[in-house]
């Protein structure tokens, strides 16, 4: 699949870093701006969800309005909630792939999966962009009959999008197999 055909899901952290100008976060800020510019150029088709817009609505003004305005400015499409995504997120939580306290993170990955998008892009290194999450959500997705998705940060997006047709990359597993999974006992 050509990079310009990739459909990506933007998780909440990206909208925050778009406006974060603190020097310690400069690299993340500019990586998000480069990603959004590729979206503007229609290199990628970007989606987010009503879960993200709900999270954005909790920010204080004027940042809230600025983050919400990015959706229209960059033509980011919002995906409606679907029962299948809630069910898949429940599986991630029940299997302790993501802690129950962070159910919104499970929902972001599940929405990306159920809608058949190619990648979720996030700066949430605690629960989303994490080897354990990548490996175990891929396994769960395959067991449930979904194809794997890629889970990357903005810095990784370009390399990841150009390397492989399948986001499964080197994590490809036989359906339902946990053999050799370094996280299986966690």
Give 3-171's CATH code, choosing from 1.20.1560.10, 3.40.50.1010, 3.60.21.10, 3.30.470.10: 3.40.50.1010
What pLDDT digit, counting tens, does each position of 37-64 carry? Answer: 999 999 999 999 999 999 999 999 999 9
Question: In the prediction, which pLDDT does 36 show?
Answer: 97
Q: Residue ranges of the domains in the chain?
A: 3-171
Query: Dihedral sign, CA of 18, 23, 25, 30?
Result: positive
Higher pLDDT, 161 or 92: 92
Question: In the prediction, which pLDDT does 161 show?
Answer: 62
pLDDT (mean) for 134-152: 96
Q: Is 118 exposed, middle or buried (0-12, 13-18, 19+ CB in 10 A)?
A: buried
* Dist CA 149 CA 9 (whole Å): 10
Question: In the prediction, which pLDDT does 3 show?
Answer: 55
- 157: confidence class by pLDDT, cuts 50, 70, 90: confident
Question: In the prediction, which pLDDT does 133 show?
Answer: 97
Question: In the prediction, which pLDDT does 176 show?
Answer: 39
With beta carbons less than 8 A apart as the criterion, state whether 139 and 181 touch: yes
């Amino acid at each position: 699949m050509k990079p310009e055909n990739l459909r990506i899901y933007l998780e909440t952290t990206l909208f925050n870093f778009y406006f974060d100008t603190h020097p310690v976060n400069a690299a993340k800020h500019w990586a998000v701006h480069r990603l959004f510019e590729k979206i503007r150029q229609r290199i990628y088709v970007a989606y987010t969800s009503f879960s993200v817009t709900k999270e954005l609505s909790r920010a204080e003004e004027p940042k809230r309005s600025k983050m919400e305005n990015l959706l229209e400015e960059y033509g980011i499409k919002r995906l409606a909630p679907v029962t299948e995504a809630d069910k898949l997120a429940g599986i991630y939580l029940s299997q302790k792939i993501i802690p129950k306290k962070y159910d919104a993170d499970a929902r972001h990955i599940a929405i990306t999966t159920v809608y058949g998008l190619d990648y979720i892009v996030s700066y949430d290194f605690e629960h989303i962009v994490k080897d354990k999450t990548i490996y175990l959500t891929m396994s769960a997705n395959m067991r449930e009959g979904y194809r794997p998705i890629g889970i990357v940060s903005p810095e990784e997006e370009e390399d990841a999008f150009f390397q492989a047709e399948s986001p499964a990359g080197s994590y490809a597993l036989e359906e339902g197999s946990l053999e050799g999974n370094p996280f299986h006992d966690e």
